[in-house]
Structure 1
Amino acid sequence: MAVLRFNFGTMGSGKSTLALQIHHNLANRQLFGLLLTTLDREGRQVTSRLGVAAPAVEVTPDLDLYALAASKWPIHYIVCDEAQFYTPEQCDQLARVVDDLEVDVFAFGLLTDFRGQLFTGTQRLLELADEHIPLQVEARCWCGARATHNARVVNGVVVYIGETVVVGDTSDHDQPLFGDNVRYELLCRHHFRVGELGN
């Protein structure tokens, strides 16, 4: 029986690395599947900060994931990276892939956005998934406590308002390339709340 698994964690918890590992392992067993991503920092591929990558199907908001899976039939699995950015309708389509096509779906994503609120894709996956799996690699705040929040830092200051999706870097740059310097930093709940970066 096929299963929809939602694997979640903060930035730096190994989501993309595990997605690539699952895709690699299944493909090496002569199973055919799809690797999907959206808004990856490198474009139409899944990349890990460890330096591994693989080509992937770019998920745009208008892509029907059930129709995609049906068009590739027979397939054995779908691995979905950055699933927090999928629309609720696309999450419903993934559940239908599991139920109607009996294809395993491995979804990976963040729980909360820079405001500490659930992404819409995450919320729907939590509602639909057969299994919810927190990743075991614990990222740490600058203070050493377990990181629980993905803070958005604009020009050196933690911000709590703005567009939900703003692609930024994960390291400081001396010179912003275009306007504001946007990056993301892992913080514990306390330092997220008070906006302290430990500089």
Structure 2
Amino acid sequence: MATLRFSFGTMGSGKSTVALQIHHNLATRQLFGLLLTALDRDGHRVSSRLGVAAPAIDVQPDVDLFRLASDHWPIHYVVCDEAQFYRVEQIEQLARVVDDLAVDVFAFGLLTDFRGELFEGTRRLLELADEHVPLQVEARCWCGARATHNARVVNGAVVHEGDTIVVGDTRGSDADRLFGDSVRYELLCRAHFRTGDLGG
């Protein structure tokens, strides 16, 4: 019986690495599937900060994921990275891939945005997924506590307002800015997320 599995964690918890590993393991067993991503830092690829990557289909807002899977039939699985960015309708289409095509779907994503609120895609996955799997790699805040929030840092300060989706880096410094605002993301525990404390 096919399953919709949602694996989640903060940035740096290994989501893309596990997605790539599942895709690799299944493909080497002569199973055919699709590797999908949305807004990945490397474009039409799923990439891990460990340096591994694979070509992927970039999920735009107008892509019908049930039709995509049907057009590639027969397939055995679909691996979806950055699923928090998928539209609600696309999550529902993934559930239909599982139910109507009997294809396993492995979705990976963040739980919350920079405000500490669920992404729309994440919310629908939590509502529809057969399995919810927290990733076991725990990222840490600068203070050493478990990181629970992905804070957006604009020009050196934590912000809690703005567009939900703004692509930034997790390793750059504010000194890298040439034009416009410097945007990056920092992993923080709840206490330091609330206070905006970046630790010095």
TM bucket normalised to smaller: over 0.9
**What TM-score results when the alignment is normalised by the length of structure 2?**
0.99
Partner of 1:182: 183
Q: Which amino acid aligns with 1:133?
A: V
- What are the ranges of 5 or more consecutive residues in structure 1 without an aligned counterpart? none
Partner of 2:23: 23
Partner of 2:193: 192
Q: Deviations over 1:77-113 (max 9, x none)?
A: 0000000000000000000000000000000000000
State the 1:175 CA deviation. Answer: 3.0
Partner of 1:72: 72
Q: Deviations over 1:145-174 (max 9, x none)?
A: 000000000010000000000001112142
Partner of 1:54: 54
Aligned to 1:174, the other structure's residue is in SS state helix
Aligned to 2:175, the other structure's residue is in SS state coil
Q: Which amino acid aligns with 2:179?
A: F
CA distance in 1, matches of 2:17, 2:38: 15
Q: Does the aligned pair in 1 maintain the 2:154–2:181 contact within 8 Å?
A: yes
Partner of 1:109: 109
Partner of 1:93: 93
Partner of 1:128: 128
Q: Does the aligned pair in 1 maintain the 2:45–2:57 contact within 8 Å?
A: yes
CA distance in 1, matches of 2:132, 2:195: 30
CA distance in 2, matches of 1:145, 1:111: 18
Matches within 5 A, 1:31-46: 31-46=31-46
**CA-atom RMSD in angstroms:** 0.6
CA distance in 1, matches of 2:174, 2:100: 48
Aligned-pair identity (%): 78
State the 1:31 CA deviation. Answer: 0.1
Partner of 2:140: 140
